[in-house]
Structure 1
């Protein structure tokens, strides 16, 4: 009996409508590739690393930083290209540093001495990008930038909620996730604004476990590459704010590891 493989889009399933669009898009890609995939929900707050370490991954979104760190043995398939001006037509994303809309802060430096939050230590958008962005300021100051730091908030939604309820003053929000939640739940983002944004990093890709047959992997890559030209693409891509998919090289996420090493070499392991 052939092995069964799963699909999942938890990282950017910001609302039921978004997850439904991802599920439908993956189903179309898989059908064109002739690869059978079972969509398996993995709702928050279940740890994403539990999902990523499964041996039956067939097409699952995964952050690039943990790929670079090697926390799970996976094979990249393709990465979405956000249909957003700052992405510039590339499979790239960044982190928005958000504050309440009524915050007195006008520059990042205004937030120093207040309360910072971050998600989880293996997150690019919620930890590594934030730490990299703060590193020059930490070096200049020669010590902590914030009076209080609340880590392990785990999800982007928890960062958003924590800024809104005032339990933190500033926090990192995946800018693509931010755009999606603003589209599907605009009432949640009406009370925040972006104080600053980080440099771009490679977009989280869809990945498979090494056990996915090589022929299936090749057909999925080809189907993702052709997706934007298909008549069904627009109705799924619109709700997901994407314009296509890009191939992913094995070393695509090396820049995130370089950011990690720079911070550790400077003695700055955690945003503070």
Structure 2
């Protein structure tokens, strides 16, 4: 049987998308799995990708994963070169503003407009809400005049910041690393004013119907990827140290952050 692979979440521009397709081609050869990369670009729903019975590798955020009654099978988690905890499969959310804006801190943006990606995103929604919760406690109410979304993708968050539709927006730190590597001119137009606490990063998943031997073959190959000398250039283009096993219990942190916000009556970031 053939399986499909997709890195929609981290195909932040054509160069990054090309590098991911190269990785999946390497993975097919290294694992012996009949794996082919497919496109699944915005506005196609990610949920459609995650529900495919022939999914062999696709990125999934830990937030929707932990909320699913019957989630797909974990394969491996990326370890970014710029990980907030060196050598660990974690990431954070960078809160960004337009470079030429007068904002010098996150607090300077209060009273303006904040953007978010989608409600089941950790980096673009849950982590942002968790970071803002402390300020809401201090100030006793809303921080922003408007909460704008869903913006869905990191690039659309940047577009909204640059267009002046929002004053501050959330970016997945690993997605931003890839943008800085492949589109530095775009990234030069935004500036980071705050960073959230680190959390477990989105990971590659396979369909629930994917056989054990296929999943294991993909896992073994991906864990070896970080040490393959011939892949050094590809790792650099993907801003990756390598891949690590997925420890599902660590993603409980995401649910705790969600529960804390809900207990405070805090729905949308704002």
Conserved 8 A contact 2:83-2:174: no
Rounded Cα–Cα distance in structure 2 between residues aligned with 1:145 and 1:250: 33
Conserved 8 A contact 1:53-1:72: no
SS of the residue 1:196 aligns to: strand
Rounded Cα–Cα distance in structure 2 between residues aligned with 1:258 and 1:49: 23
Q: Structure 2 length as normaliser, TM-score?
A: 0.96
Which residue of the partner structure matches residue 141 of structure 1? 139
Which residue of the partner structure matches residue 212 of structure 1? 210
Map Cα deviations across residues 22-76 of structure 1 (whole Å, 9 max, x no partner).
1111221222211111211101122212211222211111111111111762111
Which residue of the partner structure matches residue 124 of structure 2? 126
Which residue of the partner structure matches residue 42 of structure 2? 44
Runs of 4+ in 1 over 2 A off after TM superposition: none
Which residue of the partner structure matches residue 56 of structure 2? 58
* Residue from 67, 70, 91 that aligns with 2:68: 70
Rounded Cα–Cα distance in structure 2 between residues aligned with 1:133 and 1:125: 11
SS of the residue 2:134 aligns to: helix
Rounded Cα–Cα distance in structure 2 between residues aligned with 1:71 and 1:47: 19
Which residue of the partner structure matches residue 109 of structure 1? 107
Rounded Cα–Cα distance in structure 2 between residues aligned with 1:80 and 1:131: 24
Map Cα deviations across residues 229-257 of structure 1 (whole Å, 9 max, x no partner).
21332121111100111100232311111
Alignment of 1:76-115 (within 5 A): 76-84=74-82, 86-115=84-113
Conserved 8 A contact 2:6-2:58: yes
Alignment of 1:1-272 (within 5 A): 2=1, 4-70=2-68, 73-84=71-82, 86-272=84-270
Conserved 8 A contact 1:5-1:37: yes
SS of the residue 2:84 aligns to: helix
- The alpha-carbon deviation at position 188 of structure 1 amounts to 1.0
Rounded Cα–Cα distance in structure 2 between residues aligned with 1:244 and 1:167: 37
- The alpha-carbon deviation at position 15 of structure 1 amounts to 1.5
Conserved 8 A contact 2:32-2:217: yes
Unaligned runs of 5+ in 1: none
The 1:134–1:188 alpha-carbon spacing in structure 2 relative to 1, beyond 3 Å, is same
Unaligned runs of 5+ in 2: none
Rounded Cα–Cα distance in structure 1 between residues aligned with 2:181 and 2:94: 16
Q: Structure 1 length as normaliser, TM-score?
A: 0.95
